[in-house]
A = this chain, B = another copy of it.
Amino acid sequence: MAQRILILGGGFAGLFAAREVKKRLGAKAEVELISEENYFVFQPLLPEVAAGSITAPHAVTPLRALLKDVFVRKARVHSIDLDRQIVTVFQGVQRRPTEVPYDHLVVAMGQVVDLSRVPGLADHALTMKHLEDARQLRNHVIEKLEHAEITGLPEVKKEALTFTVVGAGFSGVETVGEMKELIDRSLKFYPNVSPEEVRVVVVEFADRVLSELPESLGKYARKRLEDRGIEIMLGKGVASATGTRLILSDGTEIPTRTIVATIGNAPSPVVRGMGLEQDAGKIAVERTLQAKGRDNVWSLGDCALIPMKDGAKERDDFAPPTAQFAVREAKCLAANIAASVEGAPLKPFAYKSQGALASLGARRGVAEVWGIKISGLPAWLLWRAYYVGFLPGFSTKVRVLLNWMMDAISARSVVQLKGAEPPAAHYVHYRAGDRIYEAGNRADGVYAIVSGAVELRHQGNDGRETVLILGQGDHFGDGILVGEDRRRSTVRALEDTKVLVLERDAYLQMVDAFPVLKDYFNAHLRTTFGVEPMPGKRAS
Nearest B residue to A487, CB-CB: B95
Q: How far is the CA of A432 from the CA of B280 in the complex (A)?
A: 53
Query: Given known contacts A38-B142, A399-B406, A406-B398, is B95 in contact with A442 (CB within 8 Å)?
Result: yes
Nearest CB on B from A1, distance (A) = 20
Cβ contact within 8 Å between B441 and A39 = no
Nearest chain B residue, comparing its CB with the CB of A38? B416
Count of identical protomers in the assembly: 2
The reply to whether the CB of A85 lies closer than 8 angstroms to some CB of chain B is no
Among the listed B132, B442, B510, which residue makes an inter-chain contact with A502, where contact means beta carbons less than 8 Å apart? B510
Q: Is residue A515 within 8 Å, beta carbon to beta carbon, of the partner chain?
A: yes
B509 contacts A150, C-beta separation under 8 Å: no
A residues contacting the other copy or chain, number (CB 8 A): 94
Taking the complex as formed, is A395 at the interface, i.e. its CB lies under 8 A from any CB of chain B?
Answer: yes
Task: Name the residue among A150, A395, A540 with the largest chain B CB count within 10 angstroms.
Answer: A150
In chain A, positions 76-104 with a C-beta closer than 8 Å to chain B are 78, 90-98
B residues less than 8 Å from A65 (CB atoms): 189, 411, 413-414
Q: Give A257's nearest chain B residue, CB to CB.
A: B93
A74 and B513 contacting across the interface, CB-CB below 8 Å: no
For the complex, is A75 an interface residue (Cβ under 8 Å from B)? yes
Asked if A375 is an interface residue, CB under 8 A from chain B, the answer is no
A484-B151 Cα distance, complex, nearest whole Å: 47
Interface of A (DSSP majority class):
mixed
Cβ of A228 under 8 Å from chain B = no
Assembled-state Cα–Cα distance A502/B510 (Å): 8
Q: Are B500 and A150 in contact, CB atoms less than 8 angstroms apart?
A: no
Which residues of B lie under 8 Å from residue A395 when comparing CB positions? Answer: 406, 410-411, 413
**Bound-complex Cα distance A427 to B287 (A):** 52
Binds B, one of A53-61, A246-254, A351-359: A53-61
Q: Which 3 A-B pairs have the closest CB atoms?
A: A448-B513, A424-B424, A92-B147
Pairs across A and B, CB under 8 Å, 24 listed: A38-B146, A38-B416, A55-B55, A55-B57, A61-B413, A64-B190, A72-B149, A74-B146, A74-B150, A78-B442, A92-B151, A97-B442, A122-B540, A131-B418, A398-B406, A398-B410, A402-B406, A418-B420, A423-B424, A425-B509, A450-B512, A475-B514, A500-B510, A502-B510
- Seen from chain A, the residues whose Cβ lies within 8 Å of a Cβ on chain B are 37-39, 52, 55-58, 60-62, 64-65, 72-75, 78, 90-98, 116, 122, 130-132, 135, 142-143, 146-147, 149-153, 156, 160, 189-190, 395, 398-399, 402, 406, 410-411, 413-418, 420-421, 423-425, 427, 437-438, 440-442, 444, 448-450, 473, 475, 486-487, 499-500, 502, 505-506, 509-510, 512-517, 520, 538, 540
